[in-house]
Amino acid sequence: MSESTGSSYFAHSSDLGPWQPLRVHLENTAGLARTFAAEFGGDDLGFAAGILHDLGKYSSAFQKRLKNEGPPVDHSTAGAQVVAESFSPPIARALAFCIAAHHAGLPNGRGEDASRSPLERRLNKEAGKDMPALDSAWQSEIDLPQEPGFLSSLCTKDKTRIGFQFAFLTRMLFSCLVDADFRDTEAYFSETEGRSVARGGFPALAELRERLEDHFEGLDGKGTVNTRRKEILAAVRDRAAAAPGNFSLTVPTGGGKTLTSLAFALDHAIRHGLRRIIYVIPFTSIVEQNAAVFREALGDEAVLEHHSQYVDSPSESPHARDKLFLAMENWDAPIVVTTGVQFFESLFAARPARCRKLHNISGSVVILDEAQTLPLEILRPCLAALDELTLNYNSSVVLCTATQPAVHERTEDPERSLRGGLSDVRELAPDPEKLYEAFRRVRVSHGGEMEDDDLAEACLEQEQVLCIVNNRRHARALYEAISYEDGVFQLTTLMCAKHRTPVLNKIRRRLKAGEPCRVIATSLVEAGVDVDFPRVLRAEAGLDSIAQAAGRCNREGKHDPDQSQVLVFSSPKWQPPAELAQFAQAGREILRHYHEDPLSPEAIESYFRLLYWQRENSDPNGLDKHALIERMHRARLDVPFEDIARDFRMIEDTQKPVIIPWDDDARRAVESLRFAEEVGRLARQLQPYIVNVPERAFQQLRESGAVQPIDPERLGEQFPLLVNESLYDKNVGLCWEEPDYISPEKSLW
């Protein structure tokens, strides 16, 4: 232990080198937090949070704890109390939340029903055994900063959003504090232990733009489609000088929107001094696909891929791989490709690890791919978060899709306005209606009701056809009805990803060779799966889903659109599940009114306006299921952070994962889990082998012994393994016998 600073108070101890003086840790953390918060004008707030966050370590009880001579003590409440006593609200309350929460997570402001003590109780806590009184020495080592200013400068559209804005700012400050605290602690221990930490050192955005230019030069530029793509690219890049804010990019399937949006984002970021590009994608499969495209153009070391199934960076450099893994903690990378779940749930999170990245979203270009997939039940909170990023956090947001949702708030056109939507959205694509006509490849029509026998016959009429239905039970029944024919395949989420990949490869080979290929699938095939069928049958669904299905028909544009049919049908036996019924109802109405061309931009806008109106007409909270914005407004400065984080879910997931031992790689990973001390990487390796099943079905599998946890004594129930491998079929995936299996009323599926 070293006392070279003259202080007897320390923040961290180590057996390998000098202990870290507390004053040094506080000053380092404050400096980092100030730098992080400077991006959104919160310099002084960040500094105040950092300099006071570990004030409770100025106690003899905590110093004894560092020497292993005493029990754990609460060292985070004291700083929150000093802030509450020294500053005025709302500054005091925002900082108190951050300081009190920097280890356990943001609590509720008041109340009882939560796992963490509410802030009000923490602020009223009296010094005692678990929270010793502060030693007066802190006042001679640390200067209490002057009260910061900032909150009054927040831009606002609506007074009912002030509570939301206060909560958003508090999370951003919390992010700055916890990242600064982690970073300084990491630096201390790495130096003490004589190891290096691979952080930072990423290529600058200007260098990445040069790499992208080289990539464009190497692409094949021949043909009408490529000519149109180049025209779109040039027009969109010409608009990169526009002031930061909200944008839309409406480009049809095949128009090259992935690289076009990346080029715009790089140009726009460099022009306006923004720091990174964050690509937010609804489906993991598209995340992986787009990340691969970006790596090819920009290099492996520039692209951070962050989602639940991410296993390892493809970079050949161990240093680059380590750097990217560390960057997952705080998104300190120039290009981040992630899921909507990771992005939005982080923006409403309360835990330090989940919030740590938030400050690095400020000063970014956020591209929301397939923007129409935002869940209806939390649409308003999602839009409020995006709008807040552009209003107060120096960011730009791009809604990127072929089927643009009607989420604009248009004061000049109330009939086409969504209350609480995005304001001042500027379109980047040149004349979306003309682009739609130029890239139109199919004809969509409604075929009316079709019994399963008729549907099976329709699938057999043509040698290459894709039939998409709304649930896995229907897919199984239809597949079994025609599986005797050559070249019949099923694709559903009852097959693990590692199983689906070779099936998809076989499908693509057959399509290319002109061989019989009839595929029965659920909507998963619409999530960026690159297949090209001459005919598609689609069960009634939302118009956005029908448009996605149409993207699998005549995808390469080699046939006349009038000969490339997308036939929408209804099934009397298999009604859309409850969560899809409202989408299907709105889609049915638009198909009736726009039967000549139901995928036109006008029809798509009408569909979304009708969908949102129906949702709110049936339920005032239809676009904010848990009334999150209203609850934050009513709470004022006592935001229920823990409750909000619990209630905000992009996916209301009542399903349970089952690990499928599909191949030798899966079996080796399972075996390694039985002995591994660190299970994180093995868990990621097993993600592609997971099938999610409804909770009731999972319980039956568990009770029958078909599914058993791996090493439950050591690992608990977190790794459930399918041990009865006979229940996994090489053609249809996970299944088991039960009476009336395919009955929609009785089946578990």
The CATH number of the domain covering residues in 10-190: 1.10.3210
Higher-pLDDT residue of 127 and 76 is 76
| Mean pLDDT of the region 628-642 | 95
Task: For residue range 400-421, list pLDDT tens digits in order.
Answer: 998 889 898 887 777 778 888 8
Using the predicted structure, report yes or no on whether residue 334 has a pLDDT greater than 50: yes
- Residue type at position 380: R
Q: What is the pLDDT averaged over residues 494-514?
A: 93
Class of domain 441-598: alpha beta
CB 602 within 8 A of CB 570: no
How would CATH label the architecture of 242-436? 3-Layer(aba) Sandwich (3.40)
Q: What are 50-97's pLDDT values in tens digits?
A: 999 999 999 999 999 998 888 889 999 999 999 999 999 999 999 999
pLDDT band at 318 (very low <50, low <70, confident <90, very high): low
Q: What is the mean pLDDT of residues 90-116?
A: 92
Is 567 strand, coil or helix?
strand
Q: How far apart are CA 84 and CA 98, in angstroms?
A: 12
**Residue pLDDT, tens place only, 130-169:** 888 899 889 999 999 998 888 877 888 778 889 999 999 9
Joined tokens for residue 68? 């292993």
Q: What's the rounded mean pLDDT across residues 559-579?
A: 88
CA-wise closest residue to 317 among 154, 157, 201: 201
pLDDT score recorded for residue 310: 54
What was the pLDDT predicted at 737? 54
The residue among 287, 266, 293, 286 whose CA lies nearest residue 277 is: 266
Distance of CA 532 to the CA centre of its chain: 28
What are the residue boundaries of the structural domains of the chain, listed by start?
Answer: 10-190, 242-436, 441-598, 655-734
Instruction: Find out whether 485 and 518 touch, Cβ atoms under 8 Å.
Output: yes
Contacting residues for 175 by C-beta, under 8 A, at least 6 apart: 36, 355, 356, 357, 358, 359, 360
What average pLDDT does the chain have?
Answer: 89
How much is the pTM? 0.91
Distance CA 3, CA 86 (A): 30
Does position 743 have pLDDT exceeding 50, yes or no?
no
Spatial CA neighbour of 169 closest among 394, 367, 359? 359
Question: Which of residues 231 and 618 earns the better pLDDT score?
Answer: 231
> Lowest mean pLDDT: which of 91-100, 171-180, 277-286?
277-286
Query: What strands lie across the sheet with 690-694, from one edge to the other?
Result: 690-694, 655-659, 720-722, 707-709
Is the pLDDT confidence value at 189 over 50? yes
Q: What is the pLDDT of residues 429-465, one digit of tens each?
A: 999 999 999 889 999 999 899 999 999 999 999 999 9
Q: What is the pLDDT of residue 325?
A: 80
Peptide bond preceding 244 in cis form (omega within 30 of 0): no
Q: Say what the pLDDT of residue 547 is.
A: 93
DSSP 134-171: PPTTHHHH-PPPPPP--GGG---S-GGGHHHHHHHHHH
| Dist. CA 104–CA 609, nearest whole Å | 42
Exposure class string for 105-124: b at 16+ Cβ within 10 A, else e: bbbbbeeeebebbbbeebbe
For the stretch 25-36, pLDDT in tens is 999 999 999 999
Across 311-423, the runs of DSSP E, i.e. the strands, are 335-339, 364-369, 396-401, 408-409, 422-423
Question: What's the pLDDT at 314?
Answer: 56
Distance between CA 295 and CA 337 in Å, rounded? 11
> What is the CA 198 to chain-centroid distance, rounded?
25
Residue-wise pLDDT tens digits, 643-663: 999 999 988 766 889 999 999
> Residue 319: which pLDDT band, with cuts at 50, 70 and 90?
low
pLDDT at position 316, please? 52
Q: Which of 285-299, 344-358, 697-711 has the lowest average pLDDT?
A: 285-299
Q: Is pLDDT of 194 > 50? A: yes
State the pLDDT confidence band at 1, using cuts at 50, 70 and 90.
very low
Same fold yes or no, 242-436 and 441-598: yes
Which ranges constitute the DSSP H helices of 594-627?
A: 601-618
pLDDT at 178: 98
